[in-house]
Structure 1
Amino acid sequence: MQEFLVRITTTVPDGTAPAEVDRRRAAEAVRARELAATGHLGRLWRPVGELRSIGLWRADTEAALRSDVLGTLPLHDWMTVEITVLEPHPNDPGPKA
């Protein structure tokens, strides 16, 4: 699988009922655990003091990441995503494929 750095900003539409926000956020946590279990979500960070996420995601292609992975998130309709395709650096000390 290809690796991607994904920056996600979620903006709740004005007028959205708090119960709907809570429902989607709870469902988002469940779906994130499922995607981690399948290897699609490797890591997830929140920059200190910011309401956005930065994650290491995996999928076969960027198109698959957008539709089959990120597109399944309950908050997807409220998200702005920025995707960077990653490749190993020759000096990466991490595991070798």
Structure 2
Amino acid sequence: MREFLVEITTTVPEGTGQEEVDRRRSAEAARAAELAATGNLARLWRPVGELRSIGVWRATDEEELHEKVLGTLPLRPWMTLTVTPLESHPNDPGRLDASR
């Protein structure tokens, strides 16, 4: 699987009822847990004082990431995404294969 850095900003459409927001957020938490269990969601952070997320996501390619991973998030219609494909850096101390 490839890794992707994904920056997510979620904007609730004006006029959306709190019940709908709460329903989607609850469903979002459940779906994120499922994606973490399958290895598609590796890490997720929220910058201090900001209402956005930064995460490391995994998929076989960018098409799968958009269609079968991020596209399944209940809040996806309200999200703006920035996706950056990642590759291992030769000096990454977390690399599994230090011989490359």
Q: TM-score band, normalised by the shorter chain?
A: over 0.9
Q: CA RMSD in A?
A: 0.6
Q: Secondary structure at the match of 1:27?
A: helix
Identity over aligned pairs, percent: 70
Query: What is residue 80 of structure 1 aligned with on the other side?
Result: 80
Give the structure 1 partner of residue 66 of structure 2: 66
CA contact (8 A) 2:44 2:53 kept: yes
Partner of 2:43: 43
TM-score by length of 2: 0.95
SS at 1:49 equivalent: coil
**Aligned counterparts of 2:95 and 2:82: Cα–Cα separation in 1:** 26
List structure 1 segments (4+ residues) > 4 angstroms apart after TM superposition: none
Q: How does 1:1-97 map to 2 (within 5 A)?
A: 1-97=1-97
Structure 1 unmatched runs, 5+ = none
Deviation of 1:95 (Å)? 3.6
Shift in Å, 1:54: 0.1
- The one-letter code of the counterpart of 1:93 is P
Q: Could you tell me which runs of 5 or more consecutive residues in structure 2 were left unpaired when the two chains were aligned.
A: none
Q: Distance between the aligned counterparts of 1:72 and 1:12, measured in 2?
A: 17
- Listed one character per residue, the Cα deviations across residues 4-35 of structure 1 (whole Å, up to 9, x for unaligned) are 00000000000001000000000000000000
For 1:27-77, what per-residue CA distance to the aligned partner results, in whole angstroms no more than 9, with x for missing partners?
000000000000000000000000000000000001110110000000000
How many residue pairs were aligned?
A: 97
AA aligned to 1:38 is T
Q: TM-score, normalised by structure 1?
A: 0.98
Q: Larger radius of gyration, structure 1 or 2?
A: 2
